[in-house]
Amino acid sequence: MDELSSGLDRAASTVHLRFVGVVRSWSRKPTFTRKNKMRTPVLLSEQIIIGGSSDAVKAFRFVDEGTRAHVITARNAKSLAFNLNYSARTEPIARANVGTGIATGARVYRQSVNHPGTKARKFVASYNADARIYLQAEVKAAIGRVKRR
């Protein structure tokens, strides 16, 4: 059983590191904490707790699950300020660190904007699917190691 537990732990570590990699350059990043050592082959990302500030967790969920088109209105200032021509750092589906995350265009000021929404990146769903592959490989390797003893 030690071989299997070690393999499950390696698979969980791999999934955990993928989540951490998604937000590595975010200024307000959520945290990803593993619940405990894996003992059974469950969905690995369900064993990872998304934490940190509520704004950081919301931001991750907006990126992961996407958003509908919506209006953004200045509430705490006269206007919104942002640069045009933004290159997103992530892309659907579950592609992290592909863009620059930088807006290279002119600075503009608006009282409100019509945001077009964001396509879901689906990191959680994708990493769950990948986790099954990691688990299968780790279980197969563990069985092989036990057989060779």
| Cα-based distances in Å from 80 to 71, 96, 114, 116 | 12, 27, 12, 16
Q: Kindly report the pTM of this predicted structure.
A: 0.76
| pLDDT 10s digits, 7-63 | 777 878 888 888 899 999 899 899 988 776 555 545 555 567 888 999 999 999 999
Q: Domain ranges in the chain?
A: 2-148
Sole residue written with tokens 């919301």: 58
Question: Which residue, 90, 46, 102, 41, is CA-closest to 32?
Answer: 46
Question: Cα–Cα distance between 31 and 18 in angstroms, integer?
Answer: 12
